[in-house]
Structure 1
Amino acid sequence: MKSNCRINIKSFKSIALIKGMGSILLKGMLLLFVSFSPLPASAQHDLDKYMQVAAENNPGLKASFNEYMAALETVPQVRSLPDPQVMFGYFINPVETRNGPMNFKIAASQMFPWFGTLRAKGDVATEAAKAKYEMFLESKAKLFNEVRSTYFNLYFTNAAIAVTTDNLELLSSLQRLALIKVEAGMSSLVDEYRIEMEIGDLENQLALLRDKLLAQQVMFNKLLNRGGQEQISLPDTLWDEGLPYTKATIRDSILTQNHQLLSLDMQQEALQYKQEAARKEGMPKIMLGLDYTIIGKGANNMSGKDALVLPQVGITIPLYRNKYRSMINEVVYQQTAKANEKLNKSNVLETVFEGGWKDFQDADRRITLNQNQAKLARMSIDLLETEYSNSGKNFEEILRMERKLLMYRLELEKARSDKQAAVSFINYLMGK
């Protein structure tokens, strides 16, 4: 069963609530994404657990989420009015009036942008924050793909160690048979030397695989931001999961759900609002103010009184139009660039998807091929060993088939790993 669960923020009316949730929101969203993993139930638990740990602890993903939260903070900033101005003036030499001397005055003013300017700027910031949110989802999908891919590489290396160990046991049993034939005079001592050489090569290969497993283990644990030597649970046989959709359906899903493309859509929306804001910037701004002059005691004003309250209204005249035309033209060029960027990204994703689909199909064919080849090689070895035990002949052919069997078994496990890595990558392209 496959479930799709995406959080799509269509409106930022609840921005204050989202900002207040902080890391709780991050953990909640990531756990939600992990819980809808499409893996089979028998193998889902371990990998789901690792993906959950990575979602909670990976510093790169946390950084992406904090960038999104920082983008949310710009919305109330751009939607706010400019700070009001308050001025205080003191008359060093008081100006005498018929009501008394003017001692000091207080003035306050507030500038108001043209109608709709703040809303347009707020919409720009909102769409920019949505774009950051999509990039956070892109970081999440990329991290999960890295976790899955590294897990499959770990599986293959671990399986290769098991296969090589099994092959060493087969060679050891053949070595015992060769010694018997040498002692009976039915075979040359060269046969025993050949086996010694084969065993030495495999032991060296086994040591290399174990070193590789340790390096991959560190890589995997660092994706989870934990100690490099932490144990990792791996299945004995990797599951064989396919793709439940047709090629055309997957391509359409990539073009509509890929987070990089969705982020570009949000950036294009932001540019539309930015163009509107640029137009409104070219409109007049209105200033409202008030002057309050304090009158001291004078000959005709024994108690003193406020002699002057002066309301003020001002307007800025956007006289230099070239600046505002350039602002609008800048946005138009940015819109064209962003449209071309999205088209280029769509083309790249389609090309990359074709490569991923080829890898998936190839790995699926190799699974069937190597299963059959390994079965035939095993049957051939049984026949050759029986013939060798009776006549002491075809020993070199036994060794050749042993190498073939090892190769087919390793290729089978590699094909299983490659197939699931291709499935994971295609799911990543679809934003999962």
Structure 2
Amino acid sequence: MIDLRLLREDPDRVRASQRARGEDVGIVDALLAADELRRSSGSRFDELRAEQKQLGKRIPRAAGDEKAELLARAGELAAAVKTADAERDEAAARAQDLLLRLGNVVHPDVPVGGEDDFRVLQTHGTIRDFAAEGFAPKDHLELGQALGAIDTERGAKVSGSRFAYLTGVGALLELALVNASVAQATAAGFVPVMTPALVKPRAMAGTGFLGQAAQDIYHLEKDDYYLVGTSEVPLAAYHMDEIVDADRLPLRYAGFSPCFRREAGSHGKDTRGIIRLHQFDKVEMFSYVAPEDAEAELERLLGWEKQWLTSLELPFRVIDVASGDLGASAARKFDCEAWLPTQGKYRELTSASNCNTFQARRLSIRTRGKDTGTRPLATLNGTLCAVQRTMALLLENHQQADGSVHVPEVLRPFLGGRERLEPVAA
């Protein structure tokens, strides 16, 4: 959630942020009114309670008519205090509900607009000219089937559409991608973490995924658990309700988990292959930093993602995601999109988001320093390797005319030294 002081001091900035997101601007004024009512009803309650306490001290010393009057007033005060207490609690609940519905304040440099209004910041690598090489590229599913690596037919038979088996070299390639990406993250100082895939409602709500993203989340109603769509959720909640000593910052974790998404609203999109699945695996970077270090940490996360994609020898570009395409928690987000030959366009492969203190306030995570006192810290997240999608991009970009697939050097130690993946006999 945002800092209420920002809302009171600069409501126009919050209104502009909501407008840029394409979200309800009226919620800002509703929240201002609810916050004012919360504070005034709280003051009224405090005044009545103070009078009640003073009256409680006078009654034992009074006698006769004075005592009768004081007792009558005590009865009136008791009713008034009860009413004021209820009004205060109702106003506080209303303000909290509105505050939780408000998205993070968008960074002023973020391009305004929707999904297609991003700003291209950089391009890296060279897109292959398959025509010049004398053959037409196959898509990743055809390649994966020839390699004995991907089985979507049995995935659909067992679990339905948007599920797949990774078999043989496909399973080995998944493990290679996970191990290589975790190795890079560990070398950069991240602590590797295997996270839970089921979380309680507070963890999911605290990271901001029960608002606009709720339709994409699997909820186990009988047990009231949520299946995570990213290990960002359990990593953000890892230090929930804790105070982290400022001397320990930054804290950096690289989480691996299975991820689950309903893919609501994606009917007809990427139905072939393994680019958009209901279940996939991911390595996620997550940072806890001092608020003033958040923007620099965002650049560092982006740098590690660029290093990873470069090591995979993939052509990619970096985009500054537009305001209307940001998640509720992110103030700014950079995506790295890699080239997918058979679609002739760039597709999102990694992302890095600065949530500043938004998630920490919701999850009650604070830091304490000698000079700064106790305050919320900042959280950031960056997808390093969305395994199945990365595999699809690798297969298509590194295919050879004979049906084999070139293996980037960074993956070879985790694939028994293989330099190529070869088709299996039919």
Normalising TM by the smaller chain, what interval? under 0.3
Alignment TM-score, normalising by the size of structure 1: 0.27
- Bigger helix share: 1
Question: Could you tell me the TM-score, scaled by structure 2's length?
Answer: 0.27
Instruction: Kindly indicate whether structure 1 or structure 2 has the higher relative contact order, using CA contacts under 8 Å at least 6 residues apart.
Output: 1
User: Which structure: greater strand fraction?
Assistant: 2
